[in-house]
Amino acid sequence: MLMIKRRTTVSAGHGDREEGNYLASASDLMIGLLFVFIILVVVLALEQQRQANVIKAAGDPRGAVTSAIGKVLEDSRIAVTIDRASGVISLPADILFPLGESKLSAEALAALALARQRLEEVLPCYVASERALRKPTDCRHNKGLHEIDTIFVEGHTDNRPLLRNGMDNTTLSFQRARAVLAGLLTDSRMATYRNSGQQPLFSYSAYGDTRLLKGIPGDDMKNRRVDLRIVLSYQSMEETLRNLSATEQKP
């Protein structure tokens, strides 16, 4: 007898459906994760923009501090040049000292005495040792609660030789810087001011004719000056935002 075997065919329909369902689920999961990632990126970008806008609204900290101190000196009848970008306030040596001398004139001493009184009113909110004694709301004019690390009093001269025994331009600039610092700190609480590292706030240095002003001749009288250079302590964006929030709180 002729035996005919029935051929058995395995249907792949059920397996295909399972594989299709798996791929669809995986695809939906990836789309969901991508959607969440896009939302997170957008939220992060918006937050960074918000922080940038808040800091921008608070202004340039070093420029603001430099302007505040420069305004005090201007009100004290001292002709100054204020450079917000570099944090430097320049005092013309001609107004403070006789030519070739390092002894402050009577007018300069009176002006520095007035400046000393005004600085004692303005500086505390920018100095670590003094700001620690105040509430954040007491220093609303210092948005961000920025602190000064150092105020350098820097002496400069023009490049004309100093014709005097035992003296040169570096020595003259050193003595002038020291005289201005003494004029500011004598009988003043500012002599006790300390930065966040408990170091004195004020210091002085001399450059002679090694740092002439750009764009003018070396022998120009404008090079004869005493600079106050403002150096701020480092502050992160997070600290700035936290401090800005603190200064806006009501007492």
The ranges assigned to domains in the chain are 59-248
Cβ 197 vs Cβ 129: under 8 Å: no
Given pLDDT bands bounded at 50, 70 and 90, which one contains residue 218? very high
Can you name the CATH fold of 59-248?
A: 60s Ribosomal Protein L30; Chain: A; (3.30.1330)
Q: Mind listing the pLDDT tens digit for each residue in 135-183?
A: 767 777 777 778 999 999 999 999 998 877 778 999 999 999 999 999 9
- The model's pLDDT over 190-202, given as tens digits with 9 standing for 90+, comes to 999 999 999 999 9
